[in-house]
Amino acid sequence: MRHPSCAVIAVLPLAAGCIVTNGTHGALQDPGHSSVISATRVDQASPPAQAASSSAVEISQTPSTSPGPVVPPERLPDFDPNLVRTLGPEGVRKLEVAASICPAAVVHDAGKLRVGCRACPPFDSSIGPDGQVAIDPTGDDGFYELENLIEGRFTEPGKTQVAAVFSGCEPHVANWGGTLLAERHGAVWVQMSYRSGFHPARCKTFPKIDAHDALVCLWETDHQSSVHWLLDTYDFKLGDDLHPESGWDNLLTLDDNSVSGCWNGKQPGSMITANQITDFVVQPATSSAPLKLVVSVQFSRGPATPAYLAKCAELQRDGEKKTKKPINPATAFKSVSRKLTLVWNGKSFTPDASSKLVMKQFGIEIEEPTPQASTCASRDVSENVIRDYCKNSMYKAIVLKNANGLIGGYVLQPSIMDSPIPYLDCNGNPLTSFHIFASDAEKSGSMKIIEPLRRAFPIEQPLKCGNGF
């Protein structure tokens, strides 16, 4: 299942000439005082626009009035030596990336220095690098932390790239952030893509069959005090900025409702679950064994006993105090530790036989392999779609294409909010529909068809009908 809404910090080589020790620019200031370190930047021409192809039925292409791509600097700022010493190697590497792609900043927070940007990603020519590193920016400047860097070859072998995990402008429903893909060009980094909502805590890389790297990530979300532990994979070669979910696969989800159970009127005897993913290890493939993930988990489940309800009461009392202490109602239950092994089959990770037995024992859902996307593809718009939707006031037809211009299907956007969203194949025949208020099982079944289709045909273009339609 692909999660609709995920880092070990990698060590990157420092660019030659990026760090100087002459202190010619502003020294590190005390908290509450802002200073900047300056450098120069060079202009870069925007890529030429592609000409739209003409046909009887055309795909509309609205001219973009948004700012252009980020203009990378000619070189990085000369970082102050005091700042370099205080940040350490990991912090400096973050600052190298930030100063290449955005208006960079460093902030003092609880005795630590945090590196980030004064604008939230994705960046463009209006909010790209400005040749400065602001120390504790104030006023109208915001701060969006670059939390983690993971080095890899995420789009093709031989590239030097990083997945930069940002705390961004996204709301709670979009996981408070996203991940930016950047590639090294000489001494600086260039923004390649931004996947909003993919906001992991910890990631490692693993190689896919064509030798590019994908990510496996551990993170957790909290919705109305219910915690969900997620182990996901992410492939930057799938999807794009508009469809970040196309690169996303959920391998395992464990839930913890031990805190929300305290607030939701749980009665004695109600079942409480406090499961957790604690760690994972990537085991490389060998000549005799495939690539594997070994996942450490804790299972804890039981009725709402008096001991649990007493912990809930303690938690409620503590919530009314100014100074709070950590109280975990899950400690009222006995936990069991297990290791699950997920084996790479060339397309995805699946639990081995013994892990399936453990998951079944503890009531954990085992995902079946996602079906392949429809192989239907066409160069021309379907006559059925022209006939049925060119003058249809109820639906707006969206064409799903790949980079070669082939059409794999259609999405019908309803004019009435919260209506089912139909999906058609390349011939205009019904595939499935998605409804936000459908049951979890119905939504899961629909997504097993929709997600492979969007992976194979990630480009959306509105249908524009020609004369006579």
Tell me: the pLDDT tens digits for 342-394?
999 888 899 999 999 999 999 887 765 544 445 688 889 998 899 888 888 88
**Spatial contact of 266 and 254, defined as CB atoms under 8 Å apart:** no
Q: What is the pLDDT of residues 215-231, one digit of tens each?
A: 999 999 887 788 999 99
pTM of the model: 0.66
Rounded mean pLDDT of 33-44?
41
What pLDDT shows up at residue 252?
Answer: 94
Domain ranges of the chain: 1-44+69-218+240-249, 257-369, 383-464
In this predicted structure, which of 57-71, 124-138, 178-192, 312-326 has the lowest mean pLDDT?
57-71
The tens digit of pLDDT for each residue in 255-265 reads 999 998 887 75
Answer whether residue 49 shows pLDDT above 80. no
Question: What average pLDDT does range 21-46 have in this prediction?
Answer: 38
Question: pLDDT value at position 438?
Answer: 75
pLDDT digits (tens, 9 = 90+) for 193-222: 999 999 999 999 999 878 899 999 999 988
Work out the average pLDDT over 61-89.
83
For residue 291, pLDDT over 90 is answered with yes
Identify whether the C-beta of residue 252 lies closer than 8 Å to the C-beta of residue 295: yes
Tell me if 420 sits within 8 A of 434, measured CB to CB. Answer: yes
Each residue's pLDDT tens digit, 100-133: 999 999 999 988 999 999 999 999 989 999 999 9
Provide the pLDDT confidence category of residue 239 given band limits of 50, 70 and 90. confident
Least confident segment among 147-156, 349-358, 457-466: 457-466
Mean pLDDT of 300-315: 89
Reference 380, options 411, 402, 405, 412; nearest CA is 405
User: What confidence score (pLDDT) does residue 287 get?
Assistant: 87
What mean pLDDT comes out for the span 302-328? 85
At 437 the pLDDT is: 75
Give the pLDDT band (50/70/90) at residue 161. very high
Q: What is the pLDDT of residue 142?
A: 87
β-strands 133-135, 104-109 pairing = parallel
Average pLDDT over the chain, rounded to whole? 82
Higher-scoring residue by pLDDT: 262, 165: 165
Give residues with Cβ within 8 angstroms of 177, minimum separation 6. 147, 165, 166, 167, 168, 170, 197, 199
- Region of 363 (left: φ > 0; alpha: ψ -120 to 50; beta: rest) is left
For 394-446, how does the pLDDT look when each residue is reduced to its tens digit (9 = 90+)? 889 999 999 889 999 999 998 887 778 999 999 888 888 888 777 777 787 88
- pLDDT given at position 211: 85
